[in-house]
Amino acid sequence: MKDKNMQGLCRAIAGLRNPQDVDDFMRALLTPAERARIALRWRLVCLLEAGVKQRAIAAQLGVSLCKITRGSRELKHGPSSFRANVRKSLPPSQ
């Protein structure tokens, strides 16, 4: 991570202790539209990890296949910590 601004942001987020603190931080830092886009991207990768087909996600969320493909690529080839956090956020298998 070379960008000092990004490093500072990551340190700030990593220092937050609970989901409410993260929510407060995100609401103060981001516009409602930015928060909605991030939340949508998160939902997209969670659906991918849960095994939902890309075309079904596109129809359900109203997003392009390009965005879904990027999320899929990150799940397959991105940092293992990202994949682990997505998996951890999914409900337990039935």
Domain boundaries, position 17: 1-30
Transcribe the chain into DSSP letters: ---HHHHHHHHHHHT--SHHHHHHHHHHHS-HHHHHHHHHHHHHHHHHHTT--HHHHHHHHT--HHHHHHHHHHHHHS-HHHHHHHHHHSPPP-
More confident position, 75 or 93: 75
49 and 77, same domain (yes or no): yes
8 and 52, same domain (yes or no): no
Q: What pLDDT is recorded for position 92? A: 80
Segment 80-93 shows an average pLDDT of 90
Q: What pLDDT is recorded for position 91? A: 84
Number of domains in the chain: 2
What are 18-76's pLDDT values in tens digits? 999 999 999 999 999 999 999 999 999 999 999 999 999 999 999 999 999 999 999 99
40 and 53, same domain (yes or no): yes
62 and 88, same domain (yes or no): yes
52 and 88, same domain (yes or no): yes
Cα–Cα distance for residue pair 78/82, rounded to 1 Å? 7
